[in-house]
Structure 1
Amino acid sequence: MRTEDPRPIRLKDYTPPAFKVDEVRLEIELDPADTRVRSQLKMRRNAGTGPLVLDGEKLKLHEVSIDGVKLGPNAYQADGEHLTILDLPEGPFTLETLTSCAPEDNTALTGLYLSSGIYCTQCEAEGFRRIAYSLDRPDAMSVFTTRIVADAKAAPVLLSNGNPVAQGKLADGRHFAEWHDPFPKPTYLFALVAGDLVHVEDKFRTLSGREVTLRIFVERGNEDRCGYAMEALKRAMKWDEEAFGREYDLDIFMIVAVSAFNMGAMENKGLNVFNDKYILARPDTATDADYAAIEAIIAHEYFHNWTGNRITCRDWFQLCLKEGLTVFRDQEFTSDMRSRPVKRISDVRLLRAHQFTEDGGPLAHPVRPDSYIEINNFYTATVYEKGAELCRMIHTLAGPKRFRKGMDLYFERHDGEAATVENFLDALADGAKLDLAQFKRWYSQSGTPEVLASGRYDAARKTYTLKLSQVCAPTPGQPVKEPYHIPIALGLVGPDGRDIKLQLDGEEKPGATTRVLSLTEREATWRFRNVADKPVPSLLRGFTAPVKLSTNLKERDLVFLMAHDSDSFNRWEAAQRYATGLLIAMVDAQKKGGAPRKGTAFAETIRKLLVSKKTDPDFAAQMIVLPSEQTLAQAIGKDVDVDAIHAAREGLRASIAAQLKDELLAAYHALAIDGPYSPDAAHAGKRALRNACLAYLAVGPGPEGVELAAAQFAQADNMTDEIAALSVLAHIDCPERVAALEKFYARWKDNHLVMDKWLSIQAMSALPGTLGEVKRLTGHPAFTMRNPNKVRALITAFATMNQLRFHSADGKGYEFVADKVLELDALNPQVAARLLGAFKSWRQFEPKRRNAMARQLKRVAAGERLSRDVYEIASKTLG
């Protein structure tokens, strides 16, 4: 147990920095055990009369001087977190410090560390203080000049932010490089990379005619896997110019791929550092999902150049300002590059699986939090995904043209500043001519609102009346919620399957077939005129708000919308709602000893999709997949029995497979692609539907499914099909499974990214011995606790993607994961805290599992020398 609980940092306590740092000059002499950092800060007082307090952690302080005069030990105080200087010049001054650190010992991977012999930095959120004493806060923006010195053989490549301004050799076998970034930035955007790297290069001509050099740096031997990332970068740069008018501003843009990284990637100004899984791709090593993720994350980090770098956030409470907005931008980019309906389905799946769960549990917090203990714990689905949904709602309310005007005004007003959510909303409101006063509640209130909808058709008057109401359940610290401003896109579908033109009371003539209604009160009613026949309402088209929707639609209405809704998202949504209701009924029937249903209507929908020549295969693949076991647990909400959920879902899959065996087989063979692999959306869609068919066939009657999976695994010429077949076999206790896993390992054991897939597939297996296999794999050469990717691939995959085995009734899954949280906390607190998040929904399970999870949470919370990261998650989860 910690001897003293850490004190929270609160938004209401924000004060501007007491000092400004106009310029930062760094000279960094790299050494694995003793890196020396000489830092010069050109400073001036900004507010107040107190001492200068700089942030610093894990640093050894050697010298302090002001304006060239060294300070004696009595002139300053240095502890484990700060450097304090009392006597200061009245005017501007230059503070110089000399410190040292040991990158090779930095297992937390924040600050300056070594990854496979490569020096790398991660400074967001508060890592720079592990490199040099500084005002390590986002509203302290400075112009940086960085000189790097290193052994020329060990680190021939020396990179930092901005443009290169000097380089040369030194007499002792070392060399140097100097970089200058003319754009003021906070310390969290500083980056340094040095090592034995190679690069691929390209050029991009901006809208104004400037030529920018593009370079992607990788470890030797990986050059042939950078092509797709480079093309994705150029597409992102062009799209940002066209969609938002944003042009790149430096002479060079660089990306570096490293194998040990706490995050997916980092948007450091001009020098993005990436987890190499989001850069390296080749058809035989990367799946379609990998290619799509590379494209999206390349775009996300590049888009940060304006929404995050040129305009940064005033404080870490404003994190959603850069992350939510940039996620929205990357979602729009992907939608334009690929299938917009499929992208929307994918994003909503992610939102519901992670953010809705977060909102419904003890870790619920507003998109802009009120307080935190450890800022690293607030890189959450609420900040990112829900933050993006808030931007999307404004886009829906304003329309594309007015939204663009609002964004243009935001860039014009705040370029070069550290901004707030209010700055963003005010610019959007002024530019788009939109009233966002009530909308601001979305940023301050936690929880997922529920919208209750009921409709009534009056055949005599030919009217349809829609009543909407909103409620939001209490969340930690917020027992009462004020009404939200909720945009709801609506359509009415007639008996012929066609949309009806909508005409509200008071309107002279019918208008569009989809309208956006604004629900701003707790309850509101709309009446539509000239509705010739009783319609079926299509509500929340395109998922225009992050809410839970409850309707009085019958099962037959959902079946009708599955077949006829013109809004692709709502066709999928109707299918998911139908299947969810069916599966929950099957769970209840199991408990009561009733007969399970066969899901004939859902099977018929799948049949039509499989034989259709018009439906996009990627969309069809989304339609035919049943709701996940995690989704069903969330829908049930309390006293969840994971065994019953698994049995119901597998039973329905087997029933559908039996009913549609011929159609599934025919589609599987028809969707085979002749010719070379391409990651484009059309080919990826065909593979997605084909592999969805394979997954059904594997649970169907007879051995054909296993035989098909084994044959596909043996014959696959790309990783997408190879891994899909292996994933199917991983859930089946058969000789083919063992042989495929062994063959896969033998083939790919020297490729660490492919080995991560091998680890995850075994961790997610539904077979009874999975926990034992996961434990065994923690001692395998392919695994190490020191690499976050390995932890995520094996342990996090087991804890978050394998509901059946993690939640085993004997509680051993919980005990294992709690053990690993405590072990990780001593190495990498960020990764440990995220792993502990697997326990966040513990209260929704039946009593035996609930009590077992609580015991493990209490054991973690009582751990000695617990980090702030893990302490905060454990204490809040327990409540």
Structure 2
Amino acid sequence: MRTDTAPAISRHDYQPYPYKLPQVALQFDLDAERTRVHARFEVERNVDGGLPPLLLNGQELSLISVAIDGVELGPGEYRLDDETLTLFPKSPRFTVDVVSECRPAENSALMGLYVSGDSLFTQCEAEGFRRITWYPDRPDVMSRYTVTLRADKASYPLLLSNGNLVAGSQLEDGRHEAVWEDPHPKPSYLFALVAGDFDCLERRIRTGGGRDALLQIYSDKGSRNKTEWALDCLHRSVQWDERRFGLQLDLDRFMVVAARDFNMGAMENKGLNIFNSSYVLADPDTATDASYHGIESVIGHEYFHNWTGNRVTCRDWFQLSLKEGLTVFRDQEFSADMMAHGLSEEAARSARAVKRIDDVTALRVAQFPEDAGPMAHPIRPESYQEITNFYTATVYEKGAEVIRMQHTLLGEEGFQAGIREYFRRHDGQAVTCDDFVDPMDSVYRARHPGKSLDVFRRWYSQAGTPRVHVTLQHDAERRECRITLRQQCAPVGIEKLHNPPLEKPPLHIPFALGLLDSRGGTLTLRHEGRDHETVVLDLCAESQSWTFPDIAERPVASLLRNFSAPVIVEYERDDAELALLARHDTDPFARWEAGQELATRRLLAMARSAHNEQGETILVQTWRALLQDESLNDAYRARVLTLPAAKVLLERTDPMDPLAVAQAREGLRAHLGRALADAWLDTYEACAAAEPEDYSPDAVASGRRALKNLALAYLAAGEHPQAESLALAQYEGARNMTDRMGGLSALVARGDTPAATRALQHFYEQWQHDPLVVDRWFALQATACSTRTDTVRALMLHPAFTLRNPNRARSLIFQFCMNNMLGVHRPEGYDFWAEQVLALDALNPEIAARLARAFDNWARYIPPNRDAVRDALQRIQQHEPLSRNVAEIISKALNI
């Protein structure tokens, strides 16, 4: 393992690769212990002047031979080190042959070619192809690939790669061969191969353009019946991309393969998507509603990459959000449309709002803390040491919000015009984020004379979460309301080290707002010559004001409707205003936001040991009104009645006291459980009575289950006398995994009781042969309020636990360290975290680096916690050997 510090790579140092490689032929003799790879590629000079060296990347490879134009080179005719093979060509056009070997079975990092179960898989993004063969492993080198796979037929009866299968034959000694051609040029990070024995579920379809295509889902033997939902999702993704974006499937077949061991959620390799099995396998007995919705989202995401990421790809890794932010936006819209499908107009609006709430919650839980911590970076980073450390919430989720703001500014029609122009200009190219904004800007300028997206482009280069301070002034005599917005974004991350302090220019922030009267009625706003219920204000300067006429009384402001920009709003208002918005706001997101803010005030006061009886009364009354408001659908009520996440609350405190925040949250859950016990019980019984016989993950049915299980959780938190019997009956009588886990969670939440112990043991005995369900079993115990470090250590000794499988490590270690605030934020918890970071680093540095970020914002903790985390960070930093992945994270954490 490398122990040196990797040099920082700067975005501004980019230079085009001096050669083009139009054609690549790869021949694999596959074997788990030792795989031989023969790579042949045509090379053409791509620069004027002389013949620069040809630099090829490689890691953990054994070089067998290298030749130029068929002439094998001697040791003195090339330069070889641990990570580069340098050739010195003598003509502007030539052919290179490289023969090398790699060892898949020893590859615990799961990057490059590796073993999972009895099969072989690849993962090449971002820089895994260099672990397969010597090659210019960078995204701007795009080639057409022909791939020949050879292997023992008994061990690997299926041989898959990108593109179209063009030949197959039986060889001597029980081996066979398959030849694949990909008609589209692609960078090396999109290469894939899979070899093994799988079940396959397939469907033949006809695209909107009349192309016949084959959709296939491959999975472990015996799991074929669990891939029906994934295949349906893939088919819907193809249809949706045609209908919404006019983008059609461009291959004869599209394959998805499920892998047991996978570092990520999934990978969009051209035509051969490789997935973590948790995002493929589902049936009602083993998968929850959240799993079904997650599969739909990820299947959609990876399929949508076929155009936004594959047909047009990144010039360099600084442009990662070019493909990821755009594709996350697309998968969010896909999921929202699927949730709303077939519903009435009002129900569909509510369903889309539920999706928006879930996405914003995820942003605030992961990305807002990242923006405030040592790893803060723009969606287009300026530098990095290890690119795998920049597959972040900022690049993905904030990147999606930046795309969504462009959609807001242009409207659906204008945004689609911009997308069409983007593909007209850049199909088949490796491009930059600016190359995406340029066509959007051209459409925006044409539709808004005198305006441009010049200021908006700063979102790509500015780190941190902007704060927008709102001032509302009402002139009763003039019947006018004046809204003033003032923006500010403080230095974050390494920006704090600037002397003098860094001054950031203003951003272009589309800020959506509405106004309500004192009874909760909607006021009409006159803006730019038209009447609106919601206006989108273009905040482009440090401070701007807008005046709305015909406002007779001081209004109640509904701010940042539909979360129109990834900012923090600062506005002084009392609890009564929040309660009114929570009950009456016509914008469902803003209505949810008001309820969350009302709860947040009580939680933060409790964390400070402050008591406000009036505030508690308003919260309980508002919660009861929302719970009993049958005009709201069940899924929406489940969201609006869920307390703010502990991580979101922690970001609102200074200094941060994790235990106080976690204890306050549990205390308020218990209080609401007791105060609204009758309403929770009525809600639980009504939802349970309406549960249909047959399972469906649709928005209506899953929403009802979500509300039912939330009610049960509140009853358990409030120690209702019927809570245990209800939870036990639900667990034992459940007809689907959502209800089974809901019952088990409620039992476990009551502590280490005999009923909880028996149910946990029964659950494991029943599902011990299903790895994904066992992951749920570990995760539930890892996040239980009563779980402490000794419990997790004991679970690590369980025969089903292994650190080598990323899903299993995430289910126990990650869940405890990242999602059990009550359990981990103690000296022994920080020590445990440091031990596990180092243990994982020896096996899989990419996974270890993600765990290393569990306490990014440690420097803002109260002194006892801050000192304990610093000690743990220093122990990690001093350990040898330490991967570059983890070293970068720890170094940045300690330097802020």
Which of the five TM-score ranges fits, normalised by the shorter chain? over 0.9
Residue in 1 that maps onto 2:30: 30
Match of 1:747 in 2: 766
Distance 1:708 1:544, change over 3 A: same
Match of 1:643 in 2: 659
Offset from partner CA, 1:670-726 (integer Å, 9 cap, x none): 101031111111100000000110011002244211221111111111000111121
Q: Within 5 A, what are the aligned runs for 1:252-651?
A: 252-338=253-339, 339-433=351-445, 435-478=452-495, 479-504=502-527, 511-589=531-609, 599-636=616-653, 638-651=654-667
Q: Deviations over 1:482-533 (max 9, x none)?
A: 10110000101122322211114xx55x511111001111111111101122
User: 1:817 is paired with a residue of what secondary structure?
Assistant: helix
Which residue of structure 1 lines up, in the alignment, with residue 696 of structure 2?
A: 678
Question: Is 2:682 the partner of 1:666?
Answer: yes
Deviations 1:335-388 (A, max 9, x none): 111121011000110101110000001110111001000000000000000000
For residues 539 and 720 of structure 1, what CA distance do their matches in structure 2 show? 35
Distance in 2 (alpha carbons) for counterparts of 1:116 and 1:482: 52
3-state SS of paired residue (1:649)? helix
Alignment of 1:638-787 (within 5 A): 638-672=654-688, 673-733=691-751, 734-767=753-786, 769-787=787-805
Report if aligned partners of 1:109, 1:261 keep a CA contact under 8 Å in 2: yes
Q: Are residues 1:864 and 2:872 paired?
A: no
SS in 2 for 1:183: coil
Partner Cα distance (1:807, 1:712) in 2: 33
Instruction: Return the alpha-carbon distance in structure 1 between the equivalents of residues 609 and 804 of structure 2.
Output: 46
Matches within 5 A, 1:5-24: 5-24=5-24
Question: Is residue 2:818 matched to residue 1:800?
Answer: yes
Could you tell me which runs of 5 or more consecutive residues in structure 2 were left unpaired when the two chains were aligned. 340-350, 496-501
Q: How much does 1:643 deviate?
A: 3.0
Take 1:644 and 1:97, find their aligned partners in 2: how far apart are those partners?
60
TM-score (normalizing by structure 2):
0.95
Residue in structure 2 matched with residue 67 of structure 1 by the alignment: 69
Deviation string 1:263-287 (CA, Å, 9 cap, x unpaired) is 0000000000000000000000000
Distance 1:584 1:333 in 2: 36
Whether 1:41 and 2:50 are equivalent positions in the alignment is no
CA distance in 1, matches of 2:430, 2:660: 51
String of CA shifts for 1:561-597, please: whole Å, max 9, x gaps: 001100000000000111101111122235xxx5777
Change in CA separation of 1:3 and 1:793 when aligned onto 2, cut-off 3 Å: closer
Which AA in structure 2 matches 1:877? A
CA contact (8 A) 2:372 2:493 kept: no
Q: 1:644 Cα deviation (Å)?
A: 2.4
Q: What is the rounded CA distance, in whole Å, between the counterparts of 1:271 and 1:718 in structure 2? A: 31
Structure 1: how far apart are the matches of 2:627 and 2:358?
21
Q: Deviations over 1:54-87 (max 9, x none)?
A: 001111011111111111121112111011112x
What CA distance in whole angstroms lies between the structure 1 residues aligned with 2:240 and 2:443? 22
* Aligned counterpart, 1:238: 239
> Letter of the aligned partner of 1:273 in structure 2?
I
More divergent stretch after superposition (711-720 vs 277-286): 711-720
Return the letter of the residue paired with 2:117. Answer: S
2:575–2:618 CA contact under 8 A, matched in 1: no
Q: CA–CA distance in 2 between the matches of 1:332 and 1:205? A: 23
8 A contact 1:311–1:416 mirrored in 2? yes
Match of 1:185 in 2: 186
Query: SS where residue 711 of structure 1 aligns?
Result: helix
- SS of match in other structure, 2:39: strand
Q: Deviations over 1:637-678 (max 9, x none)?
A: x22223322332222222222221111111101101031111
- What is the one-letter code of the residue matched to 1:460? E
Aligned length: 868
1:490 alignment partner, SS class: strand
Q: CA deviation at 1:205?
A: 1.2
Q: CA contact under 8 A between 2:162 and 2:270: conserved in structure 1?
A: yes
Secondary structure in structure 2 of the residue aligned to 1:440:
helix
Alignment match of 1:50 (pick from 38, 47, 52): 52
Hey, what's the Cα distance between the residues in 1 that align with 2:284 and 2:464? 41
d(CA) in 1 for partners of 2:526 and 2:756?
59
- Mapped contact 2:677–2:720 kept (Cα < 8 A): no
In structure 1, how many angstroms separate the alpha carbons of the residues matched to 2:889 and 2:114? 25
Q: Deviations over 1:836-861 (max 9, x none)?
A: 01020112211000000011111111
SS for the counterpart of 2:816 is helix
How much has 1:604 moved relative to structure 2? 2.2
Look up the SS of the partner of 2:20 in the other structure: strand
Distance 2:124 2:764 in 1: 35
- Answer yes or no: is the 8 Å Cα contact 1:314–1:419 preserved in 2: yes
Q: Write the deviation string for residues 590-649 of structure 1: whole angstroms up to 9, x where unpaired.
A: 5xxx5777722222233223333321100000011111222211111x222233223322
Q: Distance in 2 between matches of 1:785 and 1:322?
A: 31
Runs of 5+ unmatched residues, structure 1? none
SS at match of 2:90: coil
Structure 1's 160 and 716: CA in aligned 2 closer, same or farther, altered over 3 A? same
Question: Cα offset for 1:735?
Answer: 1.2
Conserved in 1, the CA contact under 8 Å of 2:659 and 2:825? no
SS at match of 2:82: coil
CA contact (8 A) 2:321 2:379 kept: yes
Measure how far apart 1:118 and its partner are. 0.7
Q: 1:217 to 1:863 in 2, by over 3 A?
A: same
- Return closer, same or farther for 1:297/1:216 CA change in 2, 3 Å cut-off: same
Letter paired with 2:57 = D
SS in 1 for 2:526: coil
Contact 1:599 1:655 in 2 (8 A): no
CA distance in 2, matches of 1:713, 1:2: 49
CA contact (8 A) 2:744 2:759 kept: yes
Are 1:853 and 2:865 an aligned pair? no
Quote the RMSD (CA, aligned, Å).
1.4
Structure 1 residues 304 and 3, CA gap change in structure 2 (3 angstroms): closer
Displacement, 1:819?
0.5
Paired residues of 1:56 and 1:129 also in contact (CA < 8 A): yes
Q: Is the 8 A contact 1:107 1:827 kept in 2?
A: yes
Aligned equivalents of 1:98 and 1:659: distance in 2? 72
